[in-house]
Structure 1
Amino acid sequence: MSALPERDLPPGRHSVLKNHLLQEIQLHEVRRDQARSPRAATSAPGRWLRPGLMAMATAAVVALALAVVGVTDGQPASAQAAELLRNAASAAEQQDVPADIRDDQYVYIRSTVAATVHEGNGPGVLVPVHRREVWFSVDGSRPGLLEENTPGNRHQPLGVEVPGDNSNTNYRHLQTLPTDPDAMLRWLRKTAGGGTSNNQKTFVLVGDLAGESLMPPAVSAALFRAAAMIPGVELTPNTTDALGRRGVAVTRTDDGIREELIFDMRTHAYLGEREVAVRTTKDFTEGQTLSITAIQQRTVVDSPGQRPS
Structure 2
Amino acid sequence: MNQLPERDLPPGRHRLLKEHLMAEIRHSDEPARARRPWLRPVLVAGAAAAIVAVTLTFTPPSGGDSTAGPPASPPAAQAPDSAPQVLEQVALAAAGQDAPEARDDEFTYVRSRKSFSGFDAVCEPWQDGSLVTRELWKSVDGSRPGLVRDPSLAGDVDGGPIAPDADTGQTYRDLEALPTDPEEMLAWLYGNKGGKGERPHYYAFKNAFIVADVLPPEVSAALYRAVADIPGVELVKDAEDAVGRHGTAVGFVDERGASRVEMVFDPETWLLLGTREVMIKDSADAQGRDCTGTIKAGSVLWADAVMERGVVDAAGKRPR
How would you bin the TM-score normalised by the shorter chain?
A: 0.7 to 0.9
- Cα gap change, 1:196/1:152 in structure 2, threshold over 3 Å: closer, same or farther? closer
Paired AA for residue 173 in structure 1: D
Residues 135 and 144 in structure 1, CA contact (< 8 A), matched pair in contact too? yes
The residue that corresponds to 1:39 in the other structure is: 26
Write the mapping of 1:107-256 to structure 2, written as runs, cut at 5 A: 107-118=108-119, 120-127=121-128, 128-150=130-152, 152=155, 154=157, 155-163=159-167, 165=168, 168-193=169-194, 196-211=198-213, 213=214, 215-254=215-254, 255=256, 256=258
- C-alpha separation between the residues in 2 aligned to 1:153 and 1:272? 25
Q: Which has the larger radius of gyration?
A: 2
Which is worse superposed, 116-125 or 292-301? 116-125
Residues 123 and 282 in structure 1, CA contact (< 8 A), matched pair in contact too? no
User: 5+ unaligned residues in a row in structure 1: which ranges?
Assistant: 9-13, 20-27, 41-77
* Runs of 4+ off more than 3 Å: 5-8, 117-121, 192-196
- C-alpha separation between the residues in 1 aligned to 2:300 and 2:235? 17
Structure possessing the higher relative contact order (Cα contacts under 8 Å, 6 or more residues apart): 2
Describe the SS at the equivalent of 2:98: coil
Between the two proteins, what is the percent identity of the paired residues?
Answer: 37
The residue that corresponds to 2:297 in the other structure is: 286
TM-score (norm 2): 0.70
Instruction: Say which structure is richer in helix.
Output: 1
Q: Deviations over 1:25-56 (max 9, x none)?
A: xxx25x4297333439xxxxxxxxxxxxxxxx
**Aligned partner of 2:313 among 267, 290, 302:** 302
Paired AA for residue 203 in structure 2: K
Q: How many residues align?
A: 246
Deviation at 1:79, TM superposition (A): 6.9
TM-align CA RMSD: 2.6
The residue that corresponds to 1:91 in the other structure is: 93
Deviation at 1:282, TM superposition (A): 4.2
Residues 126 and 289 in structure 1, CA contact (< 8 A), matched pair in contact too? no
Describe the SS at the equivalent of 2:26: coil
User: 5+ unaligned residues in a row in structure 2: which ranges?
Assistant: 5-9, 28-79, 287-294
Q: Deviations over 1:74-99 (max 9, x none)?
A: xxxx9700010011000000111222
Deviation at 1:120, TM superposition (A): 4.7
The residue that corresponds to 1:106 in the other structure is: 107
